[in-house]
Structure 1
Amino acid sequence: MFNSFTGDIKDAARRHLHTWKTALGLTTRQDHAAIEQVITEAYRAAGLTPPRRIVWCPSPLAMTWVRTLSTEMWQQQVGANVRDTLIDEPIRRAWPLIQACMSQGFCRELSEYLEGGLIDAVRAKEQALWNALSDECATCFDTLPLGVRAAITETLTAEGLPSTDLSALALLYYGTDGFVWGPVESQAITLAFVRKRMKLESETQAVTPLISLLEQSHTFIAHENVFWISEPPRFISENTMHYGDGWTVTVSPELQGWSRRLSLSSLFGDAVLP
């Protein structure tokens, strides 16, 4: 039974958090074959049949548009969104086994340290990503950046879908429902820590493929028959993420200030806020 979040465990958690945050800044091209195998294993572990198609996209924006357009053209062939079955339900089932190995106080402190530390590090960037996607929600296809339009068309063509009638869908409102930023997904960092660092292997065996999927993927949307996944940024300059299709996400000074104020508030209370 783990009772005290101090000493070696706290040091291990600090190193784990640092490694996790560092990995979020890496722009190395992902190994498609390896990640596709992880996707297959995660679906099977959740009791799902692996998706018939895994569709790679150069950016989260292109991914959300490709999902919407291909769903429109494929109709029922994509199946339902399986986020809950793939992610939420397995995590809910895993936690009672994990919590049986630690005191309530230890579990709370560990989660607050890892989840809170990650949120503080990525809050501004995560909000910038959501803001950028939201800005494009009401955008017509024909007014998207040229590189993004080309990437969407190329991806649809590669999947055997017609790309000549996209202008007819120009007013289509695309959706971000089911959108997952893997390493930032709630509890991903904590589950990885208790498995890898605390060696609770049998307790986390059922969610091991899911942990790998969340840790290794950038962003994705999972349906029954199709899994859409985005490449990470090609490079990151200062506070801007640059994707392969030319789409960029910039963290504004306002968002940086907002994130810092929330971080200080969580540490010291609302009294530090202006």
Structure 2
Amino acid sequence: MARKAVSTLDFSRLRQAWVRIGLTTQPAERDAAEAAVRKAYQAAGLAVPEKVVWCESPFSQALVRAIVLDPHFADGVVSSMWVNVKKTNGPGIRDDIKDAFCSSMRLFDTGAVKQRLINAIKNDVTAGMYEHMLGTMNESVRFSATDSVWQSIWHSVWESTEDCILTAIGDGIRAAVKAQDKQVLEDTIRSRLTACIGDSVKTTVWDGVMENAWANIRSGADSKARVSAWKNLWEVLQKPIWENIASPIGEHVKTCASGSAQASGYGQHDAYWLSFYAYFREVEGLEEETEQITGLLDLAKTAGWFTPHARVCWVSERPRTLSLNDKGKLHSSDGPALTYPDGWQVYATDGALRFSSVPQ
């Protein structure tokens, strides 16, 4: 059977569709996006994440990951937990570790005490990490760390870790009672917090799947089709979506959490390269060869950036507003060129970032 001719109309249709995906400001389709995350993990041969945690901007997403993985976060949980358990037991608490923890355990087993304890830890650690994170940011990034953004960040931090913290404290107290050693409690909480997030799996979920799909396309499509798809989709869409939108966002995010930026996939802003694979799937009929990449295709169509870890995947909302000049670059002369639901705003003139902030 003769292979059908490469159609200019096919390329035009796909370009328009993927530009819309890359530049949309519609709210994320959260249920569909979470299903896409699970599909992407499974395609990469990974267990699905135990939690999908939503963040309101790529900036918030990067900081949430940075906070959760920061050693100061675990240290803050440990110190706050120890102080507040003793407060729960009252001023007459004994110094003997076994008696202290046995008493703590009895109190901790009640729902009311658990909630008071987690609220106290949340308040203490939030305040401490706020100061710590601000101290590590440069001035331009601190403009972005306003109250509305921090509120969004802390909501996602505790959504990521609250169950784990409660479990870690329970396990740690039991272990400390048995060992009669406060250090056991501290070590248990730190190790459980690290384990509940797991390692970054971006390379497996993103790079690995792309490499596999590319190998399949190389064997399933002739070189003329590959070159045409490259020139008409990947190459054409890279500038308006990646260079003009995603890259400026990423450069700002890197200044506050470079590791988080590098551990992220870009969802809708991966449109420039995903359109290439969509062409071979939808037009050339290489469905089996591109099956592994459908989770990433679906995620780009339904959400913004994402940061995959073994047990938690953070996913960002799409922008709320986007302003471009006639060359497709971020631009606004009288306000932010880009805004996200948590209030994070990027100001730019003809593609050059001026600063990002929320006016007070």
Distance 1:98 1:132, change over 3 A: same
Distance 1:254 1:48, change over 3 A: closer
Partner of 1:184: 269
Which structure has greater helix proportion? Answer: 2
Given that 1:242 and 1:249 are in contact with CA atoms closer than 8 Å, whether structure 2 keeps it comes out as yes
Partner of 2:247: 127
Distance 1:3 1:111, change over 3 A: farther
Unaligned runs of 5+ in 2: 75-192, 325-330, 332-336, 354-360
Listed one character per residue, the Cα deviations across residues 124-167 of structure 1 (whole Å, up to 9, x for unaligned) are 22232123223445xxxxxxxxxxxxxxxxxxxxxxxxxxxxxx
* Residues 132-211 of structure 1 aligned to structure 2 (within 5 Å): 132-137=252-257, 175-185=260-270, 187-211=273-297
| Alignment match of 2:210 (pick from 91, 95, 117) | 91
Amino acid at match of 1:10: T
Separation in 2 of the partners of 1:107 and 1:3?
14
Provide TM-score, normalisation by structure 2: 0.56
1:58 equivalent in alignment to 2:143: no
| Matched position secondary structure for 1:100 | helix
Listed one character per residue, the Cα deviations across residues 181-217 of structure 1 (whole Å, up to 9, x for unaligned) are 1233363111112112322212222322232223433
Separation in 1 of the partners of 2:3 and 2:239?
26
Partner of 1:220: 306
Partner of 1:157: none
Distance 1:131 1:250, change over 3 A: farther
Number of equivalenced pairs = 218
Distance 1:215 1:71, change over 3 A: same
Amino acid at match of 2:261: T
- What root-mean-square deviation, in Å, do the aligned CA atoms of Structure 1 and Structure 2 show? 2.3
| Alignment match of 1:22 (pick from 17, 20, 23) | 20
Separation in 1 of the partners of 2:251 and 2:39?
32
Separation in 2 of the partners of 1:70 and 1:204?
34
| Matched position secondary structure for 2:307 | strand
Given that 1:2 and 1:102 are in contact with CA atoms closer than 8 Å, whether structure 2 keeps it comes out as no
Given that 1:2 and 1:103 are in contact with CA atoms closer than 8 Å, whether structure 2 keeps it comes out as no
Task: Report the CA distance between 1:174 and its aligned residue.
Answer: 6.5
Given that 1:3 and 1:105 are in contact with CA atoms closer than 8 Å, whether structure 2 keeps it comes out as no
Separation in 2 of the partners of 1:104 and 1:57?
41
Given that 2:304 and 2:318 are in contact with CA atoms closer than 8 Å, whether structure 1 keeps it comes out as yes
Unaligned runs of 5+ in 1: 138-172, 257-274
Percent identity between matched residues is: 24
1:111 equivalent in alignment to 2:227: no
| Matched position secondary structure for 1:200 | coil
- Compare 128-137 and 196-205 and name the one that shifted more: 128-137
Amino acid at match of 1:253: D
Separation in 1 of the partners of 2:303 and 2:47?
20
Bigger relative CO (Cα 8 Å, ≥ 6 apart): 1
Provide TM-score, normalisation by structure 1: 0.72
* Deviant stretches of 4+, over 6 Å: none
Task: Report the CA distance between 1:67 and its aligned residue.
Answer: 0.8
Partner of 2:320: 234
